Structure 1
Amino acid sequence: MLKLRVLELLDQNQMTKYALYKQLGMSYQNFSRMVNNQTKSIRYEMIETLCVIFKCTPNELFEYDFNK
């Protein structure tokens, strides 16, 4: 199962969910789904934006869980 590591990256960057939500400019419902890994898809634009915000690569945004 592929997981988005947003919560971990927020922690590492000492950033709040609210600050990230404001920067992304998306609906809170979609933001909540994304942060809690309940979304089925993510746009390339969003991946790029997250990489810019967290100063990371796409490889650092995602984690693969082999047990699921």
Structure 2
Amino acid sequence: MIRINLDRQLVEKKITSKSLSSQIGITQANLSILKTGKAKGIRFETLDKICQVLECQPGDILEYVDDLDDER
């Protein structure tokens, strides 16, 4: 399972979702879908823009979590 840590990055960088969506050129609704983990995928172009704006690495936003760890 991939966990999305975008909210954490927004808080650390003191950037609102509205500001981020505007800067990377996606709607607030689509950003919300990504933040909640409901997105089926993310374009590398979008991930690149997010990382540029937040000055972070993809691994700061996306985290692999073993499904078995959640069941234990």
TM-score by length of 1: 0.85
Secondary structure at 2:53's aligned position in 1?
A: helix
Query: Which protein is bigger by CA-based radius of gyration?
Result: 2
Matched, 1:17 2:40: no
Instruction: Give the aligned CA root-mean-square deviation in angstroms.
Output: 1.5
Which segments of 5 or more consecutive residues in structure 2 lack a partner in the other structure? none
Q: Structure 1 runs of 4+ off > 6 angstroms?
A: none
Greater mean deviation of Cα atoms: 39-48 or 15-24: 15-24
Deviation at 1:65, TM superposition (A): 2.1
Identity %: 25
User: More helix by proportion, 1 or 2?
Assistant: 2
Deviation by residue 1:15-44 (Cα, 9 ceiling, x = unmatched) = 111111111221333222111111000001
Output the CA distance in 2 between the equivalents of 1:15 and 1:62. 18
| Partner amino acid, structure 2, of 1:44 | F
Secondary structure at 2:3's aligned position in 1?
A: strand
| Number of aligned residue pairs | 68
Deviation at 1:5, TM superposition (A): 1.3
TM-score by length of 2: 0.81
